[in-house]
Amino acid sequence: MKTTEIKIVVHEYENLVELSAEDQLLMKEARKITASAYAPYSGFHVGAAVLLSNGLIIKGNNQENAAYPSGLCAERVALFYANANYPDSEVIAIAISAAKNGVLVEETVKPCGSCRQALAEAEVRFETPIRILLDGQDSICLLHGVESLLPLSFSKKAL
């Protein structure tokens, strides 16, 4: 038997001003877009801001639907829009924020499994690690690459 240990490096910041200017802007955009999320069932408003290699910031928010699971998460809304409209622009970074009753969630928000897989595919597509910012009142976490969120991920190598 062989045992393998997987370690994840997470940079944790106490507040927004500790981030680089670029990451501050990205997180502010993610926070802003939470306000227009369509979340009448959960009341959990999520916003995502994706920085592309062409310098554009693409925003998305969660879109719920009474016929679960027909809705879509903020991360995939932003990623799919970016890939559809700017297919040659790499995803450099994504900032994800969430609010409940108009207030930033306390614990750092984390993407669901489907969003992690979509982020993994964006990395594979452009062969570029994505900088991932996760927002919360308690802290802001920065991860370098989707492998930090989704170790042992499914990819085209498995096909």
Q: Which of 82, 94, 78 is closest to 148 using CA atoms? A: 94
What are the two backbone dihedrals, phi and then psi, of residue 12, each rounded to the nearest 5 degrees?
A: -110, 125
Report CA torsion sign: 136, 36, 86, 124.
positive
22 classed as catalytic: no
Q: Which residue in 22, 75, 106, 127 is the catalytic one?
A: 75
Q: For residue 41, how many C-alpha atoms fall within 13 Å in the half-sphere facing its CB? A: 10
d(CA 148, CA 132): 9
95 is written with which tokens?
């900032």
User: CA 50 to CA 78: how far, in whole Å?
Assistant: 7
The residues that are catalytic are 75
